[in-house]
Structure 1
Amino acid sequence: MKKSIILLFTIIQFTGCKTVSNERVFQKESLIPWSIVGFDVKERTPEQRLDMLKRLGFNQYAYGNRPKHIPTMKHEWLLAKKKGIAIKAVWLYINLNKDKVNKLKPESEVVFKNLKTVGLKTQIWVGFEPKYFEKLSDEASLVQAVTMIEYLSKRAKKLGCKIALYNHGGWFGKPENQLKIIQLLPKEDIGIIFNFHHAHEDLDTYSKNIKMLLPYLWCVNLNGMKKEGPKIISIGKGNLEKDMIQQVLNLNYKGTFGILGHVKGGDPELILEENYSGLLELFDKQNTINP
């Protein structure tokens, strides 16, 4: 028996295999459902949405609203707390034409107002409107992005929250630019949310980017991936996502994974189920994950 154990250990060392339990890495209790509010063809109420999560076996999610959900935002957060469902992040979409330091647009300001009222301490996932940066130089883009992120981070800290940069396309979504922003704000605790479905333009440099971002990665949102698109497909229906996920695991990533409930005009309940099933099917039942 002892010789067999030594032989097995030697084989694992030699091949570089890592035996990882899917029960630990991809269990529903660890995954964060995302994009289940703003893209729901059934237009669920907060009660219906939280009941859906419970029914599916999820005990947490990230809240990504649209302006029409603002009237029920605070109610949903309070109800989630009552039901024992954790809100791991809230979405904040910044348009520098409308959002200014010390004067955010009403749709942005209400996020901070409700965070304070509810006492919700969570991550704030910040995306920037890409078009704003199109006519700016890299230097001007960096100055404006850093100024806004520093302002948001300081406000978030007062509420017990943290800011994370979300790759939503354009200049701000580029990994190298997000890294520059973080490095210019060494006193702020800022993370990065990496979304597969917003990474098609950078697939050729994915391996380099994911290693570069690793120290700041707080969540990786998964999606089926094909270089030619479409942008969003179910996990397991692409030909790239298994290797992309594998690379993250091989880096000994300690953050969380998100699972999309988003297809335009789709039902998040069905999409979450399909994505979860596809995720498990990507890895065999032996749970052996190879580099």
Structure 2
Amino acid sequence: MPASLRAALIGAVGLSLLLLPAVIPSLLAADEPAAERDFVPQTAAELLAPENLTAWLVMFTDPTRRTVEERAEMVARHGFRKVGFEAFPKYVPLLEEQMEAYSQHGIETTCVYMVIETQTPSKEAHVTHIFDVLERRGETPDIWAMFSRNSFKDVPEQERMEKLIEAFSDLARRAEKSGCKLAIYNYGSWFGEVDVQLGVIEGIRGETGIDVGTVLNFHRGHHLMDDFPEALRRMMPHLVAVNINGMNSKDAGYRGGGAKILPVGQGDYEQTMLQQLFDAGYRGPIGIIDHRNGIDADTALSENLQGVARLRRVLASDK
């Protein structure tokens, strides 16, 4: 073999070996999101594993006006690989840019929340924009939806149920068209009662044949605390996500409008509720909620994650 050819081959092999360490991590990084999506908690402690956590409501109550890139950097810095987007009308124009910024940081937007106002939400401008963005990006996050708290308050209960079923049936069809699953967001009051949620879900199935889920928020579930296992038993077939916060046993039965939202780990009862959640068979995602007015989202996420770490250690030591 000519010396010049031998030198060229050696140089090529050497270059490939130098590049190999850089190539391997990139391949692993490409596989990591899929692995996290497939993660299934095996214990109550693993409900709080980093792979199972979703950053939720990091815009709505945050007094710091971050850019989409600053927000994505903040969420990534705390180790989240999944995030929700609260698509209130003022934030809807940011959806595509924010999803792209999250994606660039290796974060998946797993749910998009919306408040609907009419019997045909699929025709509402902000809803149309959301699905246009998702279809253009080829992404299929869960859709978390609700009516505003005072919707239909002066309408007889049976008529309210019919209106909810009609509206959510319309939205379920639109979500299915985009490949998304619709879940009813439990925001308390009459709409958040288990009987009402299950009645709406069954009504939608009867109307459309589509299975719709529900989202449980601890801070809207104080009235469920005294018999949480029974409430979970009824919700489990439809429960797609649970958002947690600190819960105090003294607040059991509370039905007031002002939700008591404590950082995770600062209550005396969320540990019990998480164990009950696991015992009921729940293995889905856990949302870490930033929902305290005037508290910077960076601070709120940090405090919540410190509590998550403590709870996880305690839950693990109980076994």
TM-score (normalizing by structure 2): 0.78
Question: Is it true that 1:199 corresponds to 2:221 in the alignment?
Answer: yes
What is the correspondence of 1:7-22 to structure 2 with a 5 Å cutoff? Answer: 20=43, 22=45
SS of the residue aligned with 1:282?
A: helix
After TM superposition, give the deviation of residue 57 of structure 1 in Å. 0.9
1:110 to 126, 129, 133: 129
SS of the residue aligned with 1:148?
A: helix
RMSD: 2.1
After TM superposition, give the deviation of residue 268 of structure 1 in Å. 1.4
After TM superposition, give the deviation of residue 289 of structure 1 in Å. 4.2
1:121 to 140, 143, 160: 140
1:272 to 301, 305, 308: 301
After TM superposition, give the deviation of residue 203 of structure 1 in Å. 3.3
121-130 or 24-33: which moved more? Answer: 24-33
SS of the residue aligned with 2:145?
A: strand
Q: Distance in 1 between matches of 2:312 and 2:192?
A: 29
Contact 1:92 1:111 in 2 (8 A): no
Which amino acid letter does the alignment assign opposite residue 43 of structure 2?
Answer: V
Q: Distance in 2 between matches of 1:257 and 1:286?
A: 15
Q: Distance in 1 between matches of 2:215 and 2:121?
A: 25
SS of the residue aligned with 2:211?
A: coil
Q: Distance in 1 between matches of 2:93 and 2:260?
A: 30
Which amino acid letter does the alignment assign opposite residue 212 of structure 1?
Answer: R
Q: 1:215 to 1:136 in 2, by over 3 A?
A: same
Which amino acid letter does the alignment assign opposite residue 47 of structure 1?
Answer: E
Q: Distance in 1 between matches of 2:259 and 2:203?
A: 35
Question: Is it true that 1:135 corresponds to 2:154 in the alignment?
Answer: yes
1:154 to 157, 173, 181: 173
Question: Is it true that 1:214 corresponds to 2:236 in the alignment?
Answer: yes
Query: Among the aligned pairs, what percent are the same residue?
Result: 29
After TM superposition, give the deviation of residue 235 of structure 1 in Å. 1.2
CA shift digits 1:133-172 (9 cap, x unpaired) = 3212221111111111111011011111110011112322
**1:225 aligned residue:** 247
Question: Is it true that 1:236 corresponds to 2:265 in the alignment?
Answer: yes
**1:71 aligned residue:** 93
Unaligned runs of 5+ in 1: 1-18
CA shift digits 1:181-239 (9 cap, x unpaired) = 11223321211110011123443443321211011111110011131686211112112
Which amino acid letter does the alignment assign opposite residue 110 of structure 1?
Answer: H
Q: Distance in 1 between matches of 2:193 and 2:53?
A: 25
**1:86 aligned residue:** 108
After TM superposition, give the deviation of residue 117 of structure 1 in Å. 2.5
Larger radius of gyration: 2
Q: Distance in 1 between matches of 2:172 and 2:227?
A: 29
Question: Is it true that 1:253 corresponds to 2:282 in the alignment?
Answer: yes
Q: Distance in 2 between matches of 1:20 and 1:289?
A: 11
Q: Distance in 1 between matches of 2:51 and 2:74?
A: 15
Which amino acid letter does the alignment assign opposite residue 156 of structure 2?
Answer: S
Q: 1:45 to 1:160 in 2, by over 3 A?
A: same
Question: Is it true that 1:163 corresponds to 2:182 in the alignment?
Answer: yes
Q: 1:103 to 1:165 in 2, by over 3 A?
A: closer
TM-score (normalizing by structure 1): 0.85
Higher helix share: 2
Q: Distance in 1 between matches of 2:184 and 2:121?
A: 19
After TM superposition, give the deviation of residue 109 of structure 1 in Å. 2.9
